[in-house]
A and B are shown apart, each in its own frame.
Chain A
Amino acid sequence: MAKEKPDLVYGTLDMLILKAIQLEPRHGLGIADRIHQMSDDVLRVEQGSLYPALYRLEAQGWIKAEEGVSETNRKARFYRLTAAGRKQLDAETEHWSRMTAAINQVLAKA
């Protein structure tokens, strides 16, 4: 994969996507919006990374695409979290909090 833009921490996009559809299925644009909104407009998803990431997650079996109709009455593909995806999200969230805690600790000591 190519490098992510600095406005998103490298390697976190998958986790953020999973989080964005944790409550309800969303389409591509919806996921980008949701991440943007959840981060209080700090994080901006690079569109070029979004779709490859979606297809990768789909291939892993963590999310599943379904045909649906968007809020503007357009045909769209909605992504839903699968059971495996839920487990993966938990695992990544836990891993992330351990990592950030560790990093914070290092920064605090310095």
Chain B
Amino acid sequence: MKLWSKLRALFSRSRLEREMAEEMQAHLDGLTERNIAAGMSPEEARYAARRAFGGVEQIKERARDVRGCALVDGFWGDLRFSVRSFWRTKIFSFAVIATLALCIWANTAVLAVLYGLVLKPLPFHDAGQIVDVYNMRPKAGQMHQKVGVVQYLDYRANADLFEAFALWSGWMFNIGEESGASRHVGMRITPDYFKVLGLQPLLGSFFTEEACRPGQDAVVVLTQSYWEKHFKADPDIVGKEVRLSGRPHTIVGVVPQRFEELSVAPLLMVPWVWDPERVQPNWRAAPMADMYARIKPGVDHGMARAQLDTLEQRFRESVADPALRDFLASGGHRMGLRQLRAQQTEPIKNGLIMLQGGALLVLLLGCVNVASLMLARANTRQAEFAVRQALGAGRGVLARQLFTEAALLALVGGAFGVALATASLKAINIYTDKAIYGIPPVRLDGSLLGLTLVVSLGVALLIGLLPVLRIWRAGSLQGAIQSGTRAASRNGGIRAMSGSLVVAQVALALMLLIGAGLLMRSFAKVMAINPGFEVSKVIHVRAAYDAGFNDPDKLKVLQDRILEKMREIPGIESVACSDRLPGFGEDRPATLPLWGTPPGQDGVYPTAVVMGVSPEYFPTMGIRLLEGRNFTEADRVPNARPVVIVDRKFAERHFQGKSVVGQLLAWGRPDQKPEDAPIIVGVAEVARVGGLETGTDTPYAYLAMGTSRGGLSVLLRTSRAFKEVMPVIRAQLRRVDASLPIYQEQTMQMWLDDKMAGRRGMLWLLGAFAGIALVLAAVGIYGMLAYDVTQRTKEIGIRGAIGATQDQIVMLILQQGVLKAGFGLLIGLAGAFYLSRYLSSLLYEVEATDPLVFTGVTLLLILVALLASWLPARRAAKVDPMVALRSE
């Protein structure tokens, strides 16, 4: 009750003031009326009432004390006083606020990313039971393969530990019929997709089973954002028609916004179509789509997976034909199952947790620095505190003042930190989108801001605590008045404390720097990988066709016209095309069984990422042919004998020492004759087109491409600048067909850089943290010694007076700094040695205990420690003994 009324007083001060004034006025009026009734004149009556009542303002002041305004006024007073005193010491305040802002920025930004990408639960009912289901062939190195429609139908009918299964796959479409058609991302889904997620339509309905049959599939469900943006949130949208890739579709429903927490990439969904008449059991191993499933509540994920494996075993033993059985057994086939989102975030999860650890270390370091600054400040204010105490301020009042100051600094620092974090999230979101496709942008929401506020207040407690303890323990500060500020210099406790703070700072900075150093070396190693092709001179553009281009002859004409128009552009050295490039979308390694040879040593067929390319592909990309011949135009005509070029990795892996050219592949029908079988005609250098470090285990195999149905990747080799030549390319493509959507236009350099976005982002952040930590440690050492030197001026003066040389005095101070730093380095090295192993998943060909990084960083810190100690040491050496002794 008491607390409540005081709080109320705090918030409704003006109302209480008004009430109080009214009430007292009413009292006065009452007295006045009574006096008038007793026969006084009105004026007399008023004076008499005033006299009887007493001084209104004094009474109000006493009433305010009682009502709790005293506490509020006291707090305001403290705050005003704090602001004034910080304003006087601008450099100190700036240093503290900047330190705290940087530290809080680091934590808020990383936490926002960690929460947004990894920790935040999906907003679906019982989301923990929603899983991603996939095929695994661990012996063939395939840990995540798509699922086929046969498996889907089998599971749907027989896996009773699951509530629902759904297939989905990405689908690119064009919208708009005439010119300026644009290419967008959508999804194909089976009807139970939203049942798995547990979503109800916002408008209309989702797909029926019938919609997934050929001929009845011209229906579409829109995402809420697309509906709002493109259709202006038309409430009568259901039933309307929209043309997608040249075909009219009926809009049947809108999916609520919550879906977009899963992925912001797709704009709409169309049915995933299969023809039940034509589904054959032996398609089972054909990977077609991704599968999501919802496990029944309370059922363990392991048990659910075991049930799928049992179904697979039943299929292998009783349904599969021998070749398929052989294929499945050779890869050690089994099913995999993983909670939704876990799959996507796994690669960056450890890195983010590590960054968060780094950010917390930086925060700790910052607090340590600020705490020692505050302590130093409190020491120089001993006289002030003593005077205030002498004038009647209790220890509580002084402590409150110190805490108010700490809270003010921490909150201002926190506010700047949050502002910085908000600004940097814009940049971070560019990276997150590249690291995880379709992930919603990371935002600072209310709970994160609340947490930041709590952290700031925690920081205030931390940095305010030391000075308050100092005041509290000192009890009476009367002594300080007599001896001035130097009373504290003989306090060994303070020196020991700031000394151990410095040790901790150096240790933490060393650990962060070693982490950043390891990442930097990995980055350099990745950058030094030879991509095996000309990165800087090749531009990639992809053109999509509308559906309906099923006639190979027409396609051939279109393809040739595109290439021809590209060749016309001045400054283009050569033009090539391919059906797809590895790394754009998912790379699914295909099996390449060799003619007449059993599966490899581990019972595994050779695998490779296979793509179709035109003969100009190798010269255009700058990939060297090591052996054999290039493709010719004759290889591209329909019904020509299939010819294959494999890369060096494939050749080394499967034909050690033997000649590869002329080897046959056992593709196609079992009754195929050797003279028709696909033949390897050449070996190309390894080209890491799919990314410098991604999928480097899988070799590439190239086929001579006739026509490509889905779309065409055009590669142009030129020395002209991308920005300058791109509009020309676009205009030329428009000339071929104005409705041709163009996308994924970038140089191969930009393409590879995008693939490194995650690594680059991680390096930037950890590097920034390590940089902050280094500066904090340097400032910490400098601050400790500089403070020490000012406190020991007298002692240094005496030493000088009795004959110590300047060098000796420099050594005296230097030694102190270097000793502390050395001790910190030892602890830091031990810590880094133990902790760096958690980094190993992010390292590339660098040991977690890389000696170069460890020694390099240690030397750097020694240098910084020397510099930071040398500055105050030199000042100590310049102390004039006479001046020092007289200053007392």
| B66 lies within 8 A of chain A by Cβ | yes
Partner of B5, one of A1, A27, A59: A59
Q: B33 — which chain A residues lie within 8 A by C-beta? A: 72
Q: A56 — which chain B residues lie within 8 A by C-beta? A: 66
| Cβ-defined contact, B63 with A28, below 8 A | no
Closest to B60 in A: A51
Q: B31 — which chain A residues lie within 8 A by C-beta? A: 29
| Cβ-defined contact, B23 with A28, below 8 A | yes
Partner of B23, one of A1, A60, A76: A76
Partner of A70, one of B19, B30, B54: B30
> How many Å lie between the Cα of A2 and that of B65 in the bound state?
12
Q: B23 — which chain A residues lie within 8 A by C-beta? A: 27-28, 51, 76-77
| Cβ-defined contact, B30 with A58, below 8 A | no
Classify the secondary structure of B's interface with A: helix
Say how far B334's CB is from chain A's closest CB, in angstroms.
70
Query: Using a CB-CB cutoff of 8 Å, which residues 497-541 of chain B contact chain A?
Result: none
Say how far A13's CB is from chain B's closest CB, in angstroms.
13
Partner of B68, one of A52, A59, A72: A59
Q: A58 — which chain B residues lie within 8 A by C-beta? A: 5
Q: Say whether, besides A27-B26, A77-B23, A51 and B1 are in contact (CB < 8 Å).
A: no
Interface residues on B, range: 20 to 34
| Cβ-defined contact, B54 with A48, below 8 A | yes
| B6 lies within 8 A of chain A by Cβ | yes
Closest to A44 in B: B52
Q: Say whether, besides A58-B5, A70-B26, A52 and B52 are in contact (CB < 8 Å).
A: no
Query: Using a CB-CB cutoff of 8 Å, which residues 3-42 of chain B contact chain A?
Result: 5-6, 19-20, 22-24, 26-27, 29-31, 33
> How many Å lie between the Cα of A59 and that of B5 in the bound state?
6
> How many Å lie between the Cα of A66 and that of B1 in the bound state?
17
Partner of A47, one of B6, B52, B66: B52
| Cβ-defined contact, A28 with B27, below 8 A | yes
| Cβ-defined contact, B24 with A74, below 8 A | no
| Cβ-defined contact, B24 with A51, below 8 A | yes
> How many Å lie between the Cα of A51 and that of B29 in the bound state?
16
Q: Say whether, besides A29-B30, A76-B23, A76-B26, A55 and B66 are in contact (CB < 8 Å).
A: yes
| A75 lies within 8 A of chain B by Cβ | yes
Q: B52 — which chain A residues lie within 8 A by C-beta? A: 47
| Cβ-defined contact, A47 with B26, below 8 A | no
| Cβ-defined contact, A59 with B66, below 8 A | yes
Q: A70 — which chain B residues lie within 8 A by C-beta? A: 26, 30
Q: B59 — which chain A residues lie within 8 A by C-beta? A: 47-48, 51-52
Q: Give the interface centre of A2, A46, A55, A70 by most chain B CB atoms within 10 Å.
A: A55
Partner of A51, one of B2, B5, B20: B20
> How many Å lie between the Cα of A76 and that of B26 in the bound state?
7
> How many Å lie between the Cα of A53 and that of B782 in the bound state?
57
| Cβ-defined contact, B6 with A74, below 8 A | no
Closest to B61 in A: A52
Q: A76 — which chain B residues lie within 8 A by C-beta? A: 23, 26
Query: Using a CB-CB cutoff of 8 Å, which residues 339-369 of chain B contact chain A?
Result: none
| B657 lies within 8 A of chain A by Cβ | no
Q: Could you give, for residues 75-100 of chain A, a 1 whenever the CB lies within 8 Å of some chain B CB and a 0 otherwise?
A: 11100000000000000000000000
| Cβ-defined contact, B63 with A55, below 8 A | yes
> How many Å lie between the Cα of A1 and that of B65 in the bound state?
10
| Cβ-defined contact, B5 with A46, below 8 A | no
Q: Say whether, besides A52-B62, A59-B2, A77 and B19 are in contact (CB < 8 Å).
A: yes
Say how far B156's CB is from chain A's closest CB, in angstroms.
66
> How many Å lie between the Cα of A23 and that of B22 in the bound state?
25
Q: Say whether, besides A59-B66, A59-B67, A76-B23, A48 and B55 are in contact (CB < 8 Å).
A: yes
| Cβ-defined contact, A72 with B2, below 8 A | no
> How many Å lie between the Cα of A32 and that of B24 in the bound state?
13
Query: Using a CB-CB cutoff of 8 Å, which residues 39-98 of chain B contact chain A?
Result: 52-55, 58-59, 62-63, 65-68
Q: A75 — which chain B residues lie within 8 A by C-beta? A: 22, 26
Partner of B54, one of A27, A46, A61: A46
Say how far B25's CB is from chain A's closest CB, in angstroms.
10
> How many Å lie between the Cα of A8 and that of B866 in the bound state?
75
Q: Give the interface centre of B6, B27, B65 by most chain A CB atoms within 10 Å.
A: B27
| Cβ-defined contact, B27 with A29, below 8 A | yes
> How many Å lie between the Cα of A47 and that of B52 in the bound state?
8
Q: B2 — which chain A residues lie within 8 A by C-beta? A: 59-61
Q: Say whether, besides A47-B53, A47-B54, A55 and B67 are in contact (CB < 8 Å).
A: yes
> How many Å lie between the Cα of A61 and that of B3 in the bound state?
11
> How many Å lie between the Cα of A27 and that of B22 in the bound state?
12
Say how far B819's CB is from chain A's closest CB, in angstroms.
58
Q: A51 — which chain B residues lie within 8 A by C-beta? A: 20, 23-24, 59, 62-63
Q: Say whether, besides A47-B27, A59-B5, A77-B19, A52 and B65 are in contact (CB < 8 Å).
A: yes
Say how far A25's CB is from chain B's closest CB, in angstroms.
14
Closest to A59 in B: B5
Say how far B105's CB is from chain A's closest CB, in angstroms.
43
Say how far B61's CB is from chain A's closest CB, in angstroms.
9
| Cβ-defined contact, B5 with A74, below 8 A | no
Q: B24 — which chain A residues lie within 8 A by C-beta? A: 28, 51
> How many Å lie between the Cα of A25 and that of B67 in the bound state?
21
Q: Could you give, for residues 420-453 of chain B, a 1 whenever the CB lies within 8 Å of some chain A CB and a 0 otherwise?
A: 0000000000000000000000000000000000
Apart from A29-B26, A48-B58, A55-B67, 13 more pairs, CB < 8 Å: A28-B23, A47-B59, A48-B54, A51-B23, A52-B59, A59-B67, A70-B26, A72-B33, A74-B26, A74-B29, A77-B19, A77-B22, A77-B26
A-B contact pairs, 29 of them (CB 8 A): A27-B23, A27-B27, A28-B23, A28-B24, A28-B26, A29-B26, A29-B27, A29-B30, A46-B54, A47-B52, A47-B59, A48-B53, A48-B54, A48-B58, A48-B59, A48-B62, A52-B62, A52-B63, A52-B65, A52-B66, A53-B66, A55-B63, A55-B66, A59-B1, A59-B5, A59-B66, A61-B2, A70-B30, A72-B30
Chain A residues packing against B (C-beta within 8 Å)? 1-2, 27-29, 46-48, 51-53, 55-56, 58-61, 70, 72, 74-77
User: Which 6 A-B pairs have CB atoms at the shortest separation, nearest pair first?
Assistant: A61-B1, A48-B54, A29-B30, A59-B5, A47-B53, A52-B62
